[in-house]
Amino acid sequence: MQKPFDGVENLEAAYDLETPEDNIKLYAAWADTYDTGYRASMDYILHRRVGETYHALGGGPKVLDIGAGTGALAEVMVPLGPYDMDATDISQQMLDVAAQKDLYHRVFWSDVTDALPVDDATYDGVVSSGTFTLGHVGPEAISELLRVTKKGGHIVISVNEHHWHALHFERVLDTMADHYDTYETRDVAIYGDSANHEHKDDLARALIIKK
Protein backbone atom coordinates (compact mmCIF):
# COMPACT_ATOMS: atom_id res chain seq x y z
CA MET A 1 0.00 0.00 0.00
CA GLN A 2 1.29 3.47 -0.88
CA LYS A 3 2.13 5.62 2.12
CA PRO A 4 -0.13 8.70 2.47
CA PHE A 5 1.40 11.94 1.24
CA ASP A 6 1.58 14.12 4.34
CA GLY A 7 3.96 15.27 7.07
CA VAL A 8 7.67 16.06 7.13
CA GLU A 9 8.72 13.32 4.71
CA ASN A 10 6.57 14.78 1.98
CA LEU A 11 7.61 18.33 2.77
CA GLU A 12 11.20 17.27 2.23
CA ALA A 13 10.18 15.67 -1.07
CA ALA A 14 8.54 18.94 -2.12
CA TYR A 15 11.69 20.90 -1.22
CA ASP A 16 13.75 18.56 -3.42
CA LEU A 17 11.66 19.03 -6.58
CA GLU A 18 13.58 20.23 -9.63
CA THR A 19 11.23 20.41 -12.62
CA PRO A 20 7.58 21.25 -13.33
CA GLU A 21 7.08 17.56 -14.14
CA ASP A 22 8.38 16.65 -10.67
CA ASN A 23 5.86 19.04 -9.13
CA ILE A 24 2.99 17.61 -11.12
CA LYS A 25 3.84 14.04 -10.11
CA LEU A 26 4.23 14.76 -6.39
CA TYR A 27 1.14 16.91 -6.01
CA ALA A 28 -1.02 14.53 -8.02
CA ALA A 29 -0.24 11.89 -5.40
CA TRP A 30 -0.57 14.36 -2.50
CA ALA A 31 -3.89 15.99 -3.47
CA ASP A 32 -6.29 13.65 -1.67
CA THR A 33 -4.49 13.84 1.69
CA TYR A 34 -3.07 17.37 1.61
CA ASP A 35 -5.79 18.98 3.73
CA THR A 36 -6.29 16.24 6.30
CA GLY A 37 -2.66 15.11 6.29
CA TYR A 38 -0.09 17.84 5.75
CA ARG A 39 -2.10 20.93 6.70
CA ALA A 40 -3.59 19.37 9.82
CA SER A 41 -0.67 17.29 11.07
CA MET A 42 1.95 20.01 10.48
CA ASP A 43 -0.21 22.90 11.81
CA TYR A 44 0.37 24.83 8.59
CA ILE A 45 -0.79 28.45 9.02
CA LEU A 46 1.08 30.39 6.32
CA HIS A 47 -2.01 30.73 4.13
CA ARG A 48 -3.80 32.52 6.98
CA ARG A 49 -1.03 35.07 7.28
CA VAL A 50 -1.10 35.79 3.54
CA GLY A 51 -4.88 36.08 3.36
CA GLU A 52 -5.15 38.25 6.46
CA THR A 53 -2.36 40.52 5.21
CA TYR A 54 -4.07 41.08 1.87
CA HIS A 55 -7.36 41.85 3.60
CA ALA A 56 -5.72 44.27 6.07
CA LEU A 57 -4.21 46.18 3.13
CA GLY A 58 -7.69 46.79 1.76
CA GLY A 59 -6.92 44.89 -1.44
CA GLY A 60 -9.55 44.89 -4.17
CA PRO A 61 -12.10 42.11 -4.61
CA LYS A 62 -10.99 40.46 -7.86
CA VAL A 63 -8.07 38.25 -6.80
CA LEU A 64 -5.94 35.55 -8.42
CA ASP A 65 -4.59 32.79 -6.16
CA ILE A 66 -1.29 31.53 -7.61
CA GLY A 67 -0.39 27.95 -6.71
CA ALA A 68 -3.80 27.66 -5.11
CA GLY A 69 -3.46 23.95 -4.37
CA THR A 70 -6.56 22.70 -2.57
CA GLY A 71 -7.88 26.19 -1.84
CA ALA A 72 -6.48 26.96 1.61
CA LEU A 73 -6.11 30.69 0.89
CA ALA A 74 -9.66 31.04 -0.36
CA GLU A 75 -10.91 29.31 2.79
CA VAL A 76 -9.38 32.21 4.71
CA MET A 77 -10.23 35.08 2.36
CA VAL A 78 -13.75 34.36 1.13
CA PRO A 79 -15.30 34.68 4.62
CA LEU A 80 -13.45 38.00 5.06
CA GLY A 81 -14.63 39.19 1.62
CA PRO A 82 -16.45 39.90 -0.47
CA TYR A 83 -13.76 38.47 -2.77
CA ASP A 84 -14.19 37.20 -6.30
CA MET A 85 -11.30 34.74 -6.50
CA ASP A 86 -9.80 32.70 -9.32
CA ALA A 87 -7.37 29.83 -8.75
CA THR A 88 -4.50 28.46 -10.77
CA ASP A 89 -1.97 25.72 -10.12
CA ILE A 90 0.37 23.36 -11.95
CA SER A 91 -1.39 20.38 -10.34
CA GLN A 92 -4.78 19.63 -11.89
CA GLN A 93 -5.46 17.12 -9.13
CA MET A 94 -5.02 19.78 -6.45
CA LEU A 95 -7.25 22.15 -8.41
CA ASP A 96 -9.91 19.46 -8.66
CA VAL A 97 -10.02 19.33 -4.86
CA ALA A 98 -10.19 23.13 -4.67
CA ALA A 99 -13.02 23.29 -7.21
CA GLN A 100 -15.19 21.03 -5.08
CA LYS A 101 -15.19 23.65 -2.31
CA ASP A 102 -17.06 26.24 -4.45
CA LEU A 103 -14.77 29.05 -3.29
CA TYR A 104 -13.42 30.16 -6.66
CA HIS A 105 -15.13 31.75 -9.65
CA ARG A 106 -12.67 30.25 -12.13
CA VAL A 107 -10.19 27.41 -11.68
CA PHE A 108 -7.55 26.87 -14.36
CA TRP A 109 -4.27 25.04 -14.89
CA SER A 110 -1.08 27.01 -15.55
CA ASP A 111 2.67 27.02 -15.04
CA VAL A 112 3.54 30.45 -13.64
CA THR A 113 7.18 29.97 -14.63
CA ASP A 114 6.01 30.10 -18.25
CA ALA A 115 3.01 32.37 -18.86
CA LEU A 116 -0.44 32.73 -17.36
CA PRO A 117 -3.46 32.47 -19.70
CA VAL A 118 -4.68 35.82 -18.38
CA ASP A 119 -4.94 39.27 -19.98
CA ASP A 120 -2.86 42.18 -18.71
CA ALA A 121 -4.23 44.10 -15.71
CA THR A 122 -7.05 41.66 -15.06
CA TYR A 123 -6.91 41.46 -11.25
CA ASP A 124 -7.12 43.90 -8.35
CA GLY A 125 -4.65 41.69 -6.54
CA VAL A 126 -2.67 38.47 -6.55
CA VAL A 127 -1.99 36.21 -3.56
CA SER A 128 0.09 33.08 -3.10
CA SER A 129 1.02 30.86 -0.16
CA GLY A 130 3.63 28.11 -0.27
CA THR A 131 4.43 28.42 -3.97
CA PHE A 132 7.56 30.58 -3.85
CA THR A 133 9.60 28.10 -1.86
CA LEU A 134 12.42 25.57 -2.11
CA GLY A 135 12.03 23.31 -5.13
CA HIS A 136 9.28 25.47 -6.56
CA VAL A 137 8.94 28.92 -8.11
CA GLY A 138 11.70 31.55 -8.24
CA PRO A 139 11.58 35.36 -8.31
CA GLU A 140 11.45 35.70 -12.09
CA ALA A 141 7.80 34.59 -12.01
CA ILE A 142 6.90 37.78 -10.17
CA SER A 143 6.92 39.54 -13.55
CA GLU A 144 3.81 37.55 -14.54
CA LEU A 145 2.09 38.52 -11.29
CA LEU A 146 2.81 42.17 -12.02
CA ARG A 147 1.55 41.83 -15.57
CA VAL A 148 -1.90 40.55 -14.58
CA THR A 149 -2.35 43.03 -11.71
CA LYS A 150 -4.06 46.38 -12.20
CA LYS A 151 -2.23 49.63 -11.50
CA GLY A 152 -2.63 50.39 -7.79
CA GLY A 153 -3.33 46.75 -6.99
CA HIS A 154 -1.60 44.62 -4.37
CA ILE A 155 0.41 41.43 -4.60
CA VAL A 156 0.91 39.44 -1.39
CA ILE A 157 2.96 36.26 -1.63
CA SER A 158 4.87 34.15 0.86
CA VAL A 159 8.51 33.39 0.15
CA ASN A 160 10.41 30.80 2.17
CA GLU A 161 13.23 32.59 4.03
CA HIS A 162 15.99 30.30 2.72
CA HIS A 163 14.56 30.54 -0.80
CA TRP A 164 14.52 34.36 -0.56
CA HIS A 165 18.26 34.50 0.07
CA ALA A 166 19.33 31.58 -2.14
CA LEU A 167 17.62 32.94 -5.26
CA HIS A 168 18.34 36.62 -4.54
CA PHE A 169 14.73 37.82 -4.61
CA GLU A 170 15.72 41.35 -3.61
CA ARG A 171 18.13 41.64 -6.52
CA VAL A 172 15.55 40.38 -9.01
CA LEU A 173 12.88 42.70 -7.63
CA ASP A 174 15.22 45.62 -8.20
CA THR A 175 15.39 44.75 -11.91
CA MET A 176 11.57 45.00 -12.05
CA ALA A 177 11.35 48.35 -10.27
CA ASP A 178 9.86 50.12 -13.29
CA HIS A 179 6.80 47.86 -13.06
CA TYR A 180 5.67 48.54 -9.49
CA ASP A 181 5.39 51.38 -7.01
CA THR A 182 6.74 49.95 -3.74
CA TYR A 183 7.43 46.69 -1.96
CA GLU A 184 8.10 45.56 1.59
CA THR A 185 8.58 42.26 3.42
CA ARG A 186 7.40 41.02 6.79
CA ASP A 187 8.58 37.93 8.66
CA VAL A 188 5.78 35.39 9.14
CA ALA A 189 5.55 31.95 10.69
CA ILE A 190 4.84 28.98 8.44
CA TYR A 191 3.58 26.71 11.25
CA GLY A 192 1.50 27.32 14.35
CA ASP A 193 2.20 26.95 18.05
CA SER A 194 1.11 23.30 18.18
CA ALA A 195 3.66 22.21 15.56
CA ASN A 196 6.29 19.84 16.98
CA HIS A 197 8.18 18.72 13.88
CA GLU A 198 11.68 19.65 12.77
CA HIS A 199 10.44 22.49 10.55
CA LYS A 200 8.22 24.08 13.20
CA ASP A 201 10.40 27.19 13.52
CA ASP A 202 10.82 27.78 9.78
CA LEU A 203 10.00 31.30 8.63
CA ALA A 204 8.78 32.90 5.45
CA ARG A 205 8.58 36.46 4.22
CA ALA A 206 5.29 38.02 3.27
CA LEU A 207 6.28 39.98 0.18
CA ILE A 208 3.90 42.88 -0.34
CA ILE A 209 4.08 44.71 -3.65
CA LYS A 210 1.96 47.71 -4.59
CA LYS A 211 1.82 48.13 -8.32
Amino acid type, 40: A
Pairing of strands 149-160, 203-210: antiparallel
pLDDT, tens digit, for every residue of 135-188?
Answer: 568 999 999 999 999 999 999 999 989 989 999 999 999 999 999 999 999 999
Q: Give the rounded percent of residues in the chain with a pLDDT score beyond 70.
A: 75
How far is it, in rounded angstroms, from Cα 22 to Cα 27?
9
Among the listed residues 210, 204, 206, 202, the one whose alpha carbon sits nearest the alpha carbon of residue 176:
210
**Average pLDDT of the segment spanning 83-96:** 93
Q: Identify the CATH number of the domain in which residue 116 sits.
A: 3.40.50.150
Amino acid type, 76: V
Contact 43, 195 (CB under 8 A): yes
- Can you give the pLDDT at residue 203? 85
In a domain, 35, yes or no: no
pTM for the complete prediction?
0.84
Number of domains, the chain: 1
- Can you give the pLDDT at residue 136? 64
Residue 45, phi then psi, degrees to nearest 5: -125, 0
Host domain of residue 169: 45-210
- Can you give the pLDDT at residue 91? 87
- Can you give the pLDDT at residue 6? 46
